[in-house]
Amino acid sequence: MTPAASVTGPDFIALQVRDVDTAATFFETQLGLRRAPASPPGAVVFTTEPVAFAVREPLPGVDLDSVERPGLGVALWFRTNDAQALHDRLQAAGTPIAKAPEDGPFGTMFTFLGPEDYAITAHGN
């Protein structure tokens, strides 16, 4: 008998955004992500680990203007080596902070609004 197919976990995450260049620049300049050497048309892939991350144009049939906030109901967390320092840098740059730093299950954590108001939680020491 052949074993049933199984899933080992997330392998790629992409945010669909109206303005790929602006979103990619935010993730580069504010979070320090680095672009992968190659990306498909209409997307920017970053060299994140353990899961690849990208911003991309909306897929056919996706109307981002018809939703109150993109990604509602999805929890997107990024690991950082210093959550408080990242919070302070984002706040100083004018990035909206949705939830102030607090102790959480994975160290200090806070939530900010990234490109196009995606809620993103950063956590770490």
Mean pLDDT of 80-97: 97
Give the C-alpha separation, 110 to 36, whole Å. Answer: 27
Closest residue by Cα to residue 16 from 90, 87, 67, 86? 67
User: Are residues 24 and 55 in contact, defined by beta-carbon separation less than 8 angstroms?
Assistant: yes
Strand runs labelled E in the chain: 12-16, 43-46, 52-56, 76-80, 97-104, 107-113, 119-124
Question: Which residue blocks in the chain are alpha helix, DSSP H?
Answer: 20-29, 83-92
Query: What global pTM score does this model have?
Result: 0.91
pLDDT bracket for residue 68 (50, 70, 90): confident
Mean pLDDT of 67-72: 88
Q: Which amino acid is at 94?
A: G
* pLDDT (0 to 100) of residue 59: 94
